[in-house]
Structure 1
């Protein structure tokens, strides 16, 4: 597994042995970043340059590190599974990007408080465990997700999309066994100032 493009292009990433971590397939990762860099969901402008990124359920860190390679300013990683956490830290160190990365040994359902909302959130939860909704609720409550945050969620193609009521699906794409869902928090309408 390698970084596909950007300043870290071609750099190799390691992954833990066994079934505990399922890195996003290369084809899906390339498609995801093609959509982002094409600006299809962000008014024709890539959201990656200077972005504050959160890679939740980070695993090897491939998504967050790819975002950093393509111009992201800073990446926070949330990972609790010990073998993945060890590999994630090794990947950050091997790429020499520790100064722009923070690795949190935390469960996504119990995240640390954010300093500010992320511009971009990657969520690749274990398949078929119904984690998308509680994870989005927890990340929103902790301040990681705000009205301007673009959320990129990967699920199993057959997995139902269960979201909090204040999230809207902007786009959905299918790649092999996976589907990518692009989400944004619904901004409530401004109160009508003419009402009494």
Structure 2
């Protein structure tokens, strides 16, 4: 995986093979950040990455100057890798070892962007639970967005707060926003 833009543009990061991860492809990540670039000033963002795995998305936000980046994953080896890599790159990323659902129940932060990349084999109820918890616990700042990466076989367009979906190969990014009438 590589960092596409920002302070560490072009930097390649190689995760150990033992990590149970499926990093977002460079093509999909580039598409995602092109969308975000048109809507957000990265220097003002508070970002929360859920199911962070190797930290691929966190590194991209940090490289682009996000104010805070928090990475949550339940795998200790993933957390150690993020901690080591962010230290080597002098990135201010806070890795947290936790079950994502438990973390969302008690999350002490609000974010402008929450990015979740759960296992593609999650069932519909597990995907929906991520959305429900983020909005029930009011974890997004005003004008914030929840982005869930999932396979093209998972349909999220009927889930409350759904805004738009973007497909890149076999991956889809579903965007969820606070409804204006709330």
Q: State the distance in 2 between where 1:13 and 1:92 align.
A: 11
Q: State the distance in 2 between where 1:67 and 1:116 align.
A: 17
* More helix per residue: 2
The secondary structure found in structure 2 opposite 1:60 is: coil
Q: Which runs of 5+ in 1 are unaligned?
A: 190-196
Shift of 1:181: 1.4
Q: State the distance in 2 between where 1:91 and 1:19 align.
A: 14
Q: 1:51 aligns with which of 45, 49, 58?
A: 45
**Structure-2-length-normalised TM-score:** 0.87
Q: Does structure 1 retain, via aligned residues, the 8 Å contact 2:6–2:63?
A: yes
Q: Does structure 1 retain, via aligned residues, the 8 Å contact 2:150–2:171?
A: yes
Match of 1:193 in 2: none
Shift of 1:96: 1.2
Q: Kindly indicate whether residue 170 of structure 2 is the aligned counterpart of residue 180 of structure 1.
A: no
The structure having more radius of gyration, on CA atoms, is 1
Q: Does structure 2 retain, via aligned residues, the 8 Å contact 1:168–1:186?
A: no
Match of 1:108 in 2: 100
The secondary structure found in structure 1 opposite 2:16 is: coil
Match of 1:194 in 2: none
Q: Which runs of 5+ in 2 are unaligned?
A: none
Q: Kindly indicate whether residue 95 of structure 2 is the aligned counterpart of residue 79 of structure 1.
A: no
Q: State the distance in 2 between where 1:179 and 1:51 align.
A: 23
Q: Kindly indicate whether residue 34 of structure 2 is the aligned counterpart of residue 34 of structure 1.
A: yes
Q: Kindly indicate whether residue 115 of structure 2 is the aligned counterpart of residue 122 of structure 1.
A: yes
Q: Name the Cα RMSD after superposition.
A: 2.1
Q: State the distance in 2 between where 1:85 and 1:162 align.
A: 31
- Provide closer, same or farther for how the CA distance between residues 7 and 132 of structure 1 changes in structure 2, counting only shifts above 3 A: same
Match of 2:7 in 1: 7
Q: State the distance in 2 between where 1:30 and 1:180 align.
A: 12
Shift of 1:160: 2.1
